[in-house]
Amino acid sequence: MIELSKISKDYYTEAGTVHALRNIDVKIQSGEFVAIMGQSGSGKSTMLNILGCLDQPTTGQYSLDGINVGDKNDTYRSILRREKFGFVFQSYNLVPRLTAVEQVELPLIYQGASNKREIALEALARLNLDDRAHHFPQQLSGGQQQRVAIARSLVVQPQVVFADEPTGALDTQSGKDIMKIFSELSDEGITIVLITHEQHIADQSSRILEMSDGQLVFDSLHGRNSL
Amino acid sequence: MTIIDAIKIAFRSIYANRLRSLLTALGMIIGVASVIALIAIGQGTQQGVKQEIMGLGSNLIFIQPGSSTDQSTGSKGGRGSSTTLVLSDVDAIMDAEIDGLYGASGQINFPAQAIGGGNNDRVDVVAVDAEYAYVRDLNMEYGSFISDNDVTRKAMNIVLGHAIADSLFPTGDPIGENVRINLGSRFGFNFRVIGVLSESGGQNVQDASVYIPIPSLMNRLRFLKNPTGGTTIQQISIKIDENVDEVVIKSELEDVLMMEHAVLEPDFIINSQNDLVSAASAVSKTLSILLGSIAGISLIVGGIGVMNIMLVSVTERTREIGIRRAVGALSKDIRLQFISEALVVTIGAGIIGVIVGLTIAIVINGRVIAGQQMITVIELWSVLVAFGVSSIVGLISGSYPAHRASMLDPIVALRSD
């Protein structure tokens, strides 16, 4: 279970302090499918980065399964990402020189797994990419690349998958396919936190959070006027 | 991440940038190869000089004239420029009956052209007495060496060094043949060949020398007379008992000659073979160090090249680093990856450099380059030093870029283009 309490994130620039997040309180239960919506600059990416332990809050507490991870060191947070989290990005973030199966092997390399190739091929097969295992990213369509990225996030059997506008760069049909995969993952009990600014995408989640100006302004769990 | 994974990743990225990696490695390859080849040449030169000096005969002491001082300018001439050593000094040394002194022989050297058997060659003429063959351990292939009788009657007889005999009379035994010795265009003298020396081998000068009785040209060539009327000689060779302390003999020789010359300070220089060996070794050791340092500098330059490329590589792959961090790479995993990459390049370059360096050393060994016979001696330590230094250079030049890569903020790295 994820619990954020009084989380704030400030960026210090020459132009002054930017309050990217202000006093965020939110709990996400295991297995929830959460969609975060909001204008660009509303702080949703910052929120996702903090949830995914890619970034640290300036103040406030982040507890994961009861452990305060917000102030843990870089190594601890790296290990959390390696063992418990998966990431999917709008721009896929595949390494250009690696084949699909090698992309999927990446997290396994850092885990020190022994039968990497086998596990990675299984993960690709699950996303119907068996026949694309030895293709490079530039030889794959956007939808296929995003499926490789999802396979990479799933290969470590994560507790939570964080997705930052995963369908943002895809055509409608590919976007639908990707969302279907997320629904299936959710059905399997994997917690999903997904950023989108398309309502029809958000509608497929079990809970919608809306952010504005660094604050949480809406939580479908509590209704529009609860916050 | 295991070391094997890190090395695999390193090979992947080196292969992906083949040309760039090769050019980067080239600096190190040249550095390592030149360390090995140049040290082999330096060591070979050192050994060659040593052999040459030891090949002069065993247990020798050489006396040469001191340097002359120009009375009007006070400037000093080079070693041997003075005319203080005369033929009668040899008799004085023998008369002193120094313990452990087996023999002494004076000599005069001058370059000349030798014509014989329809051929001609440049030779070093060595005018000597009969003792010379004994003092310098010369062996005969044909005929005999200059005798006391030849010296007494100023015979126009000549003994040829092996290489000269070969070049003038390639078809065989030259005993009894005529050889003309030309000094410039004005003087020419005819000699009869009475002997040929055995081959000395190596770079020894005796193969390219001819020997004549010391008085044979004495009355015909003015320059051999010094102002006092004595016969100026260029060197006295002395053979000593190897069990006797050479320092004692050197000091006795000094006393005898100072008395003979009636001087308070020696106007001559006494060197033993060991003195010459150590002087020559010191020179060629300096040469080795110099060559090694030049090569070492090229290794450092190569290392700077590696660091430069690694920094470029880190910058180019910032996003990749961000991706790797996002999927769980620890900061030290990233450091290991980039250090491995630098090490694979430099160790690979080191291995190729060792092969190239050894090949060069082996190929040029014994060949004549620019009129000089090259001798190379491959030293194991030079291979180890070159390889070790290149690995250390790789480690150092990879460390800073790897550290920069490992310190990147994952978020910033992910956002970079």
Interface of A with B (CB under 8 A): 49, 52, 54-55, 74-75, 78-79, 81-83, 87, 89, 93-98, 106-107, 109-112, 152, 156
Distance set, CA B299 to CA B2, B280, B304 (Å): 30, 28, 9
Query: How many structural domains does chain A have?
Result: 1
Distance set, CA A174 to CA A145, A155, A169, B49, B277 (Å): 11, 21, 10, 81, 85
For residue range A127-160, what is the model confidence (pLDDT) as tens digits?
999 999 999 999 999 999 999 999 999 999 999 9
Q: Which chain B positions have a beta carbon within 8 Å of A53's beta carbon?
A: none
- pLDDT given for residue B264 in this prediction: 84
Domain-located, residue A225? no
Q: Which chain B positions have a beta carbon within 8 Å of A89's beta carbon?
A: 414
- pLDDT given for residue B303 in this prediction: 87
Domain-located, residue A113? yes
By C-alpha distance, the chain B residue nearest A81 is B328
d(CA B66, CA B269): 6
CB pairs under 8 A between A and B: 66
The C-alpha of A74 sits at a distance from chain B's nearest C-alpha, in angstroms, of 8
Domain of A32: which CATH number? 3.40.50.300
Q: Which chain B positions have a beta carbon within 8 Å of A82's beta carbon?
A: 327-330
Domain-located, residue A193? yes
pLDDT exceeds 90 at position A36 = yes
Mean pLDDT score, A54-74: 91
- pLDDT given for residue A212 in this prediction: 93
Q: Smallest Cβ distance to B326: which of A54, A111, A112?
A: A54
Domain-located, residue A214? yes
Domain-located, residue A224? no
For residue range B351-380, what is the model confidence (pLDDT) as tens digits?
999 999 999 999 999 888 777 778 888 888
- pLDDT given for residue A7 in this prediction: 94
- pLDDT given for residue B188 in this prediction: 87
> What residues of chain B score a pLDDT lower than 50?
none
Q: Which residues pair with B160 in a beta bridge?
A: B196, B210
The C-alpha of A212 sits at a distance from chain B's nearest C-alpha, in angstroms, of 21
Domain-located, residue A227? no
- pLDDT given for residue B38 in this prediction: 87
**Is B330 in contact with B337 (CB distance < 8 Å)?**
no
Hey, of B7, B327, B335, B416, which one would you mutate to test binding to chain A, going by the most A CBs within 10 A of its CB? Answer: B327
Cross-chain residue pair B410–A54, CB shorter than 8 Å = yes
- pLDDT given for residue A166 in this prediction: 94
Q: Using the CB atoms, write b or e for B282-291: b if 16+ within 10 Å.
A: eebeebbeeb
| Range of the structural domain that residue A92 is part of | 2-219
Confidence of residue A101 (pLDDT cuts 50, 70, 90): very high
For residue range B126-158, what is the model confidence (pLDDT) as tens digits?
999 999 988 888 889 889 999 999 988 888 999
d(CA B275, CA B12): 58
- pLDDT given for residue B393 in this prediction: 87
- pLDDT given for residue B184 in this prediction: 78
- pLDDT given for residue B201 in this prediction: 61
Q: Which residues pair with A62 in a beta bridge?
A: A4
d(CA B354, CA B13): 24
Q: Report the first-to-last Cα separation within chain B, whole angstroms.
A: 26
Q: Smallest Cβ distance to B411: which of A49, A74, A97?
A: A49
Q: Which chain B positions have a beta carbon within 8 Å of A87's beta carbon?
A: 326-327
Cross-chain residue pair A107–B13, CB shorter than 8 Å = no
Domain-located, residue A203? yes
Cross-chain residue pair A152–B13, CB shorter than 8 Å = no
pLDDT exceeds 60 at position A11 = yes
Distance set, CA B304 to CA A160, B27, B33, B175, B313 (Å): 45, 9, 17, 66, 14
Cross-chain residue pair B324–A106, CB shorter than 8 Å = yes
Q: Which chain B positions have a beta carbon within 8 Å of A159's beta carbon?
A: none
For residue range A195-216, what is the model confidence (pLDDT) as tens digits?
998 999 999 999 999 999 999 9
Q: Which chain B positions have a beta carbon within 8 Å of A78's beta carbon?
A: 325, 328-331
The C-alpha of A73 sits at a distance from chain B's nearest C-alpha, in angstroms, of 11
- pLDDT given for residue B192 in this prediction: 93
- pLDDT given for residue A25 in this prediction: 94
Distance set, CA A155 to CA A94, A122, A166, A182, A214 (Å): 15, 9, 18, 14, 33
Q: Smallest Cβ distance to A95: which of B320, B328, B331?
A: B320
Q: How far is CA B225 from the centre of its chain?
A: 35
Cross-chain residue pair A110–B330, CB shorter than 8 Å = yes
Domain-located, residue A226? no
pLDDT exceeds 60 at position A224 = no
Cross-chain residue pair A87–B327, CB shorter than 8 Å = yes
